[in-house]
Amino acid sequence: MARVYALSNRMKHAKPSFVREILKVAVRPDIISFAGGLPAPELFDVDGVRAATAETLEHNSTGALQYGPTDGVAAFKQQIVGVMARRGMADIALERILVTTGSQQGIDLIAKVMLDPGDVVLVERPAYLAAVQVFELYEAQLRGVECDADGMNTDALEAQIADLRARGERAKFIYTVATFGNPSGATLSLERRQKLLEIAAREEILLIEDDPYSELRFSGDSLPPVASFAGERESPWVVYMSTLSKFVAPGLRLGWMILPEGLVGPLTIAKQAADLHSSTFNQHVAAKYLETGRLEAALPRIREVYGRKAQAMMNALHAHFPTGTLEFNAPSGGMFLWGKMADGVDTLALVQRAVDAGVIYVPGATFFPDERRANYLRLSFATPSLEQIEEGVGRLARAVLD
C-alpha cells in the first residue's frame, strides 16, 4: 500500500531534476547523449590520480582517513589559492575559502544561509537548472534576467531591481554563471562584469558567481572571474564558487567557495550541519595531484579536445540543419551549445522522437524558471566522440525537423 508521508511544505512542490531523469535514458548503449554536462572520460588523468592516491596512503594515511576541519584541508586550500592566482585572483586568504562537496553544495549552502520562503532570487534567463532546483527547494521566488551572447543583460537586471523596489521588495541575491554559461554557453563581457559588480555594491545585493567552466576556454582571450574585479567597495557583496569537477574529475566531489569575511561563519555552520566536512581523503589526494603540476600539463589537451568537439558539433549542425531551422551562438569554452529553433517548435514534445531516433538532448523549457519558452534546446558536446557527434546531430535533425 502506498503510504502518504507528512512531508515538509518545502518538499511538497519539489520536482526531480529533469536532466538527471534524462540521464537515466542516456545510459542506454544505443543512445548518443548530448544531454549531460559530463566531462569527456578520455580526459581523466587516471595515472595522475592513481599516483596521488598511492602517495597519500603512503605518507599521509592518518590525515586522509581521519575526520578533518569543516572549512577544508589546509594543503588542499593552498592548492586552491594557486588555482585562483592563475585565474587572476592573487593572494586569497585561506580563511576566506570554504571547501565544499562539489559546487552544488556551495549553491545549497548559500541558499540555506540566505533564503527565507518567498525571498526573491535573480537568475539568468536561461538559468542553471540544478541551482533553480535548490532555490525552489528553499521556496524562493525566482526572477529571470534576460541574457544574450554577452551574458546577463545588466540593463535588464537594473529594470528588475527597480520593478522589485516599486513593489517594496528586494532580491536576496543574484546568481550567475558568468563564464561559459550553463545552458547558454554565453560569457559575460568585461564591461558587464564591471557593471554587475557596481550594481551589486550599490544595491547591496549579494552576487553569487558560479564558475565551474572557466578552465575550459578553447578560443579567444581569457576573461578573469567577475569576482577578480571587485575592489574594496564590491568585495563584501561577492561570493565566488568553483569546482574540480569539470577539469579534474566530478567523482572527487570537491569544490570551493571564496566568501566575504562576514559570511564565513554562517556558511561554515551550515556546512558543519550538512556533512561535517568534505571528504578528507579526496582533499588530500586532490592536493597531492595539484601539487605535481600534472594538471598544467593536461589542461592544453583538455581545452583542445573540447574545442574540437565544439567545432565538430557546430559543423554538423550547419550541415544537417537548413538555414533558419536552428540558431546558436558559438561558445568560446565550456561544454554547451544553446540552440534556438523556430517559434512554435516545442522541444519538450520532441524528446521522445529524438530518443526513438537514438539521440537525447535537454529541452530548453526546463531552464526558464519564470516563463515558458518551448523552442530552445541544450546540446552538450563534451562526452560523445567526434564520430558520435556527427552521427548524433544527423539523428537529431531527422527527429526534430520532420
Does position 210 interact with ligand PLP (CB under 6 A)? The reply is yes
Alpha-carbon dihedral angle through residues 131, 243, 114, 77, given to the nearest 10 degrees: 170
Judged by CB under 6 A, the residue of 97, 110, 122, 177 near ligand PLP is: 177
Residue 315's alpha-carbon distances to 291, 370, 393, in angstroms, are 38, 33, 10
- Least separation, in Å, of the C-beta of 321 and ligand PLP? 25
CB of 81 to ligand PLP, least distance (A): 19
CA distance 299 to 303: 6
Continuous H helices in 138-231: 154-166, 190-203
Which window, 101-109, 214-222, 346-354, 361-369, contacts ligand PLP (CB under 6 A)? Answer: 101-109
Which one among 56, 104, 133, 279 touches ligand PLP, defined by CB under 6 A?
104
With CB under 6 A as the contact rule, the residue among 184, 243, 278, 375 that binds ligand PLP is 243
Q: Give residue 379's identity as a one-letter amino acid code.
A: L
**Stretch of residues binding ligand PLP (CB under 6 A), selected from 98-106, 111-119, 168-176, 363-371:** 98-106
Q: Least distance from C-beta 276 to ligand PLP, angstroms?
A: 18
Q: Measured from the CB of residue 61, what is the shortest distance to ligand PLP in angstroms? A: 26
For ligand PLP, which residue of 48, 68, 126, 255 counts as binding (CB under 6 A)?
Answer: 255
Applying CB under 6 A, does 154 fall inside the site for ligand PLP?
no
Residue 281 CB, nearest distance to ligand PLP (Å)? Answer: 17
Bond from prior residue into 331 cis (ω within 30 degrees of 0) = no
Cell of 61: 594515511
Q: By CB under 6 A, tell whether 153 contacts ligand PLP.
A: no
Q: Residue 247 or residue 321: which is nearer to ligand PLP going by CB?
A: 247
Question: How many positions of this chain bind ligand PLP (CB under 6 A)?
Answer: 13
Exactly one of 48, 151, 212, 369 binds ligand PLP (CB under 6 A); that residue is 212
Cβ of residue 49: shortest distance to ligand PLP, in angstroms? 16
364 binds ligand PLP (CB under 6 A): no
Among 33, 179, 245, 388, binds ligand PLP (CB under 6 A): 245
Q: Which of residues 277-296 bind ligand PLP (CB under 6 A)?
A: none
Strand residues in 92-215 grouped as ranges (E):
97-100, 120-125, 141-148, 151-152, 171-176, 206-210
Minimum separation from the CB atom of position 272 to ligand PLP (A): 19
DSSP one-letter string for 283-327: HHHHHHHHHTTHHHHHHHHHHHHHHHHHHHHHHHHHHHS-TTSEE
The rounded distance, in Å, linking the Cα atoms of 356 and 395 is 10
Grid cell of 225 as nine digits: 572571474
Q: How far is CA 155 from CA 66, 149, 152, 192, in A?
A: 50, 15, 9, 9
Kindly calculate the radius of gyration of the chain based on its CA atoms and give it in whole angstroms: 21
**Phi and psi at residue 174, in whole multiples of 5°?**
-110, 130
- Would you tell me which residues interact with ligand PLP (CB under 6 A)? 37, 102-104, 128, 177, 182, 210, 212, 243, 245, 250, 255
